[in-house]
């Protein structure tokens, strides 16, 4: 799967125009992690947004086991997490994210993405509205677990 394919399968990116997706693909990179590896830990600088290509990532406030399955686990291809990267350069991670199986992610440079979306405010609004819905639903899942 190409980065553009992964972006098209991801809810906040799916409705964006093809030329915008191509520009976003240029600020992305692939990341492969083994089971048990952390994507990020609480307190890390929050620079990248992540899109799950395949695998699973547990999210939580405490120590996460490599076999953990929290209510906020990221399991579906196209799921997005690490939204703090869109807030600003001095933002830090507030939770831990650990792979519970072999995982492939697409990382998106948060600052570059926000700059691009600011230049295209209508597209940026569409993206952020979708992202807010995802955040709301994810918080409910984590709170319920």
Distance CA 123, CA 54 (A): 27
Chain segment 48-58, per-residue pLDDT in tens: 999 999 999 98
Q: What's residue 17's pLDDT?
A: 94
Question: HSE on the CB side for 37, CA within 13 Å?
Answer: 12
Q: What's residue 40's pLDDT?
A: 96
Q: Which residues contact 52 (CB under 8 A, 6 or more apart)?
A: 74, 75, 76, 77, 78, 79, 80, 81, 103, 104, 105
Q: What's residue 135's pLDDT?
A: 87
Residue 68 pLDDT more than 60?
Answer: no
Q: What's residue 72's pLDDT?
A: 64
Chain segment 101-123, per-residue pLDDT in tens: 999 999 999 999 999 999 999 99
Q: What's residue 30's pLDDT?
A: 96
């Amino acid at each position: 799967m190409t980065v553009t394919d992964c972006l098209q399968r991801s809810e906040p990116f799916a409705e964006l125009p093809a030329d915008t997706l191509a520009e976003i693909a240029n600020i992305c990179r692939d990341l492969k992690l083994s089971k048990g590896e952390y994507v990020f830990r609480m307190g890390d600088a929050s620079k990248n947004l992540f899109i799950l290509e395949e695998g699973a990532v547990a999210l939580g406030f405490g120590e996460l086991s490599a076999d953990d399955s929290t209510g906020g686990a990221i399991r579906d291809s196209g799921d997005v997490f690490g939204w703090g990267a869109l807030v600003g350069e001095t933002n830090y991670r507030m939770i831990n994210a650990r792979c519970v199986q072999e995982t492939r992610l697409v990382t998106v440079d948060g600052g570059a993405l926000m700059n691009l979306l600011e230049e295209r405010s209508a597209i940026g609004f569409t993206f952020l509205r979708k992202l807010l819905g995802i955040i709301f639903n994810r918080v409910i899942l984590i709170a319920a677990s």
